Amino acid sequence: MPIVTSLADRGRDCQGGNACVEALVARSSASYNGGGSASEGDGQMRSVFRILDAGFNRAREALRVLEDIARFHREDAGEAGALKEARHALDRLARRHRTDFLAARDAAGDVGRDSDVPPGRERPLAEVAAANFKRAQEALRSIEEVARGRLGEISAGANRLRYRLYSIERRFSDPLLRLRSARLYVLLDPEVSLLPLERAAREALRGGADVLQLRQKGRIDPGLARELRAIARDALFIVNDRVDAALAAGADGVHLGAEDVPVGEARRLGIPIVGATTHTLAEARRAVAEGADYISVGPMYATPRKPGLAPRGFEYLAAAKRLGVPVFCIGGITRRNVRPEMGRVAVCWGVVGQRDVAAAARAIRRALTSGR
């Protein structure tokens, strides 16, 4: 139970003095029956509540950062909801002793208050997310250990919440699960881009691209592939056609056409994500049966990149979406003809062939999500 009624209520006559609050903690701890020993009336319980207060604050702040990344960057309602529920579970766990935590808090006297200095460099959001998962998990472990034997309900609840976060973290970082939340896939082709590909990649990401693909016909430049991999820290990075180049660059996946290595062979070589080009429903079904993690459907519109193919994507789009893997519409898509019912799109000239790459990407993404 909370110390007597609460330290905040008992300390109204203390005029905010730390000495008086410490005396209240000492007196109240003598009658505390939550598992702590009588010796903790000497001031240890104040330290316990300070540690728990700091732990709850760290975990709550980290969960809010993660929830915002899931909601506004990843636009993943499922993960945002899971993180919000975890934050609410944390609040419920702390609610019973909130006044005790506040009474014991001494931010001005915290000897470590100046040690938590944020890094001066810009950090990719993937790195921010990873750091905040660790921050929340470490805070929960601290709560669990300090509360054990004193506040059993809090200790057990922190343990359960910590393991829940391990599962959310796995989903958050799994490339295949990130693929399922992707909407805008941008193809980086040096024959189409008006900018050097490195700059085009940065601008596409600034405009909201979830996936970048290096589409370099013939020999893939390994140095360029590695550079794009480094740039795409907050997005998935795919290499077109070449499994060896994808593996060498540490790419998240490879996209294969009908003349490339079979999907199953790419999978055996250790590629995390394997995508496949399709132009008919039969090809789509075959690609999924062979193990493709996603497929492209198209062309949706006439495109000079595929002059021999008539637009037919709309003919089998609805059926392809029922095959159980992410479907990216491709072929001639621009900000002027993209439609919300496409759901996901893969775009080349409509983004990197524009003077303002970020604005083009942003407009296409906005059009895709306008119907939700």
Q: How many helices (H) and strands (E) does the chain have?
A: 16, 8
Boundary-marking domain end, from 155, 173, 191: 173
**pLDDT over threshold 90, residue 85:** yes
Higher per-residue pLDDT: 170 or 361: 361
Across residues 336-351, what is the average pLDDT?
96
- Distance, in Å, from the CA atom of 193 to the CA atom of 95, rounded to the nearest integer, reads 55
213 lies in the same domain as 299: yes
139 lies in the same domain as 288: no
97 lies in the same domain as 236: no
Boundary-marking domain end, from 149, 173, 197: 173
Boundary-marking domain end, from 150, 173, 196: 173
Q: Tell me the pairing of strands 294-297 and 327-330.
A: parallel
Q: Which two tokens stand for residue 244?
A: 């060896």
Long-range contacts of 144-151 (CB under 8 A, 24+ apart): 146/48, 146/51, 146/52, 146/55, 147/48, 147/52, 149/35, 149/36, 150/34, 150/35, 150/36, 150/40, 150/45, 150/48, 151/34, 151/35, 151/52, 151/97
H or E stretch at 253? strand 253-256
- Distance, in Å, from the CA atom of 164 to the CA atom of 319, rounded to the nearest integer, reads 36
136 lies in the same domain as 255: no
The domain that contains 200 carries what CATH number?
A: 3.20.20.70
90 lies in the same domain as 146: yes
211 Ramachandran zone, left/alpha/beta (phi>0; psi -120 to 50)? beta
At 215-244, the pLDDT tens digits run 998 788 999 999 999 999 889 999 999 999
269 lies in the same domain as 128: no
Mean pLDDT of the chain: 87
At 10-23, the pLDDT tens digits run 444 444 445 454 44
What pLDDT band is residue 116 in, cutting at 50, 70 and 90? Answer: low
At a CB cut-off of 8 Å and minimum separation 6, what does 223 contact? Answer: none
> Is 1 a member of any domain?
no
At 37-48, the pLDDT tens digits run 444 565 788 999
Higher per-residue pLDDT: 59 or 117: 59
Least confident of 223-237, 332-346, 358-372: 358-372
At a CB cut-off of 8 Å and minimum separation 6, what does 170 contact? Answer: none
Q: Which two tokens stand for residue 332?
A: 């001639």
Highest mean pLDDT among 37-41, 108-112, 271-275: 271-275
User: What are the φ and ψ backbone dihedral angles of 84, each rounded to 5 degrees?
Assistant: -65, -45
Across residues 112-120, what is the average pLDDT?
68
Percent of the chain topping pLDDT 70 = 87
**pLDDT over threshold 70, residue 101:** yes
**pLDDT over threshold 50, residue 2:** no
210 lies in the same domain as 131: no
Q: Tell me the pairing of strands 184-188 and 345-347.
A: parallel
> Is 243 a member of any domain?
yes
What b/e string do you get for 53-66 counting C-beta neighbours within 10 Å, with b at 16 or more? bbbbebbbebbebb
> Is 30 a member of any domain?
yes
Least confident of 72-81, 133-142, 257-266, 309-318: 72-81
145 lies in the same domain as 199: no
pLDDT of the residue at 263:
92
337 lies in the same domain as 240: yes
128 lies in the same domain as 237: no
Question: For helices 313-321 and 281-289, what crossing angle results, to 10°?
Answer: 30
> Is 235 a member of any domain?
yes
What pLDDT band is residue 147 in, cutting at 50, 70 and 90? Answer: very high
Polymer length of the chain: 372
The residue behind tokens 């492209």 is 296
pLDDT of the residue at 163:
94
At 150-205, the pLDDT tens digits run 999 999 999 999 999 998 888 887 888 889 989 999 999 999 999 999 999 999 99
> Is 69 a member of any domain?
yes
pLDDT of the residue at 371:
56
The residue behind tokens 């295949």 is 176
Closest alpha carbon to 331 in 349, 317, 315, 318: 349
- Distance, in Å, from the CA atom of 218 to the CA atom of 229, rounded to the nearest integer, reads 19
Domain range for 16 is: 7-112+121-173
What pLDDT band is residue 107 in, cutting at 50, 70 and 90? Answer: confident
232 lies in the same domain as 330: yes
Q: Which two tokens stand for residue 58?
A: 């760290």
Q: Domains in the chain: how many in total?
A: 2
Least confident of 162-171, 207-216, 279-288: 162-171
H or E stretch at 169? helix 152-173
Check: CB of residue 86 under 8 Å from CB of residue 56.
Answer: no
278 lies in the same domain as 247: yes
> Is 295 a member of any domain?
yes
> Is 96 a member of any domain?
yes
pTM, two decimal places = 0.69
> Is 2 a member of any domain?
no
